[in-house]
Amino acid sequence: MVSSKGIRQAPHGIDRSVSGNRPLLVRNALGRSIAAGIFRVEHRLIDRRKGEITVAKDDPEICPLRGSGLRARLVQSRDPSMSGTEPLDDSVDNWITAGWWLNKTGTPVTYFRSQWKVPKPPSTDRGQLVFLFNGREPRLDSVRTILQPVLTWGRYGSRWTVLSYLYPTIGTNPGQTEPVEVCPGDVLTGVIRLIGQGASGFSYRCEFEGICGTALTVHDIPQLVYCVVTLEADEAGCGNTPYELKAPSDYPNARRTRFRRIRVETGTSVARLNWRPCNYLEKLPTYYGAHTKVVSRSATNGRVDIYYARRGCLSW
């Protein structure tokens, strides 16, 4: 509901705890998205399930909630020129750095491929989870979900595994495939194909090419308009998102991972891409330097590099 002060009161999950930097989707009192990014929030009033706040006016730079004592100042937007249209990780996720592209061609993306190599494992093992993936997301005003072929460390023990995810799942679709172990140096090719569309939604197939058991087919979901390549990581005891891991050595023991051979097709044509980097932690005092660099915006042989830490941070 919306109060007389123009603040949408969440039905539950309200949190009035200490302030800090948070990834948020900011909406006005009518529910229209006006900004997405990292916000500095004071005396915050947030529905933690949704990672949203509602403001009384369309001001994404300084967002006072009248009568509430809350102020949310934009620290980092996905792209200042595209406020309100950028993909946003949910408050339950901890995206470290990513590259993304929004399809505004009017034709659905039919094919999205990226290739990368399994890096060396982290040199420290604290039970942290590391995720590397190329993925697809719907628009912000649609159902929140992501379809992704994922390389993960730590989720199934101290090893690298691959599987395909639809998270959160939609309808009767399966949420994931079974994990398959892979080794450092293995070359992975993650592919997401559009295989059908109709009045009830879109159907996709997500898999790692050449790895049996990783194919996930989903039906009747919203059109996926974003293409992303992402480093995500989680570690117990680090605090509320976004947060840095406890040490640089908790990341893969490598300088970077190259997402290469990126190919995006819209219908029977290749798309004109404009990949944009987003580094979620660079405003934090413990930021180790993980970042994204767009090397090539080619739609047939593109490349986006994800760096884990500054040189000298790791112990190798």
In tens, the pLDDT along 15-55 reads: 333 345 555 555 544 444 445 555 555 444 444 444 444 44
**Residue 107 region by backbone torsions, left for phi larger than 0, else alpha for psi between -120 and 50, else beta:** beta
Structure tokens at 210: 């050449």
At 313, is the pLDDT very low, low, confident or very high (cuts 50, 70, 90)?
very low
Lowest mean pLDDT among 56-65, 132-141, 279-288, 295-304: 56-65
- The domain total for the chain is 2
Q: How do residues 154-191 score in pLDDT, each as one tens digit?
A: 999 999 999 999 988 888 888 999 999 999 999 999 99
Both 158 and 39 in one domain: the answer is no
Residue whose token pair is 């072929």:
149
The model carries a pTM of 0.73
Structure tokens at 111: 């094919």
Is the pLDDT at 100 greater than 60? The verdict is yes
Mark which of 36, 60, 82 sits at the end of a domain.
82
Average pLDDT for the chain: 77
SS3 127: coil
Indicate whether 239 belongs to any domain. yes
Both 73 and 182 in one domain: the answer is no
User: Beta strand 226-234 with 256-266: parallel, antiparallel or unpaired?
Assistant: unpaired
At 241, is the pLDDT very low, low, confident or very high (cuts 50, 70, 90)?
confident
> Structural domain of residue 48, as residue ranges?
14-82
Q: How do residues 200-235 score in pLDDT, each as one tens digit?
A: 899 999 999 999 999 999 999 999 999 999 999 998
Sign, CA dihedral 299-300-301-305, equals positive
Both 155 and 257 in one domain: the answer is yes
Indicate whether 2 belongs to any domain. no
Indicate whether 246 belongs to any domain. yes
Is the pLDDT at 266 greater than 60? The verdict is yes
Both 115 and 218 in one domain: the answer is yes
Indicate whether 3 belongs to any domain. no
Both 159 and 129 in one domain: the answer is yes
SS3 135: strand
Whole-angstrom Cα distance, residue 263 to residue 271? Answer: 9
Whole-angstrom Cα distance, residue 230 to residue 186? Answer: 19
CB 86 within 8 A of CB 79: yes
* Residue type at 203 in one-letter notation: S
Whole-angstrom Cα distance, residue 152 to residue 159? Answer: 8
Both 37 and 180 in one domain: the answer is no
Q: What is the reported pLDDT for 5?
A: 34
Both 105 and 26 in one domain: the answer is no
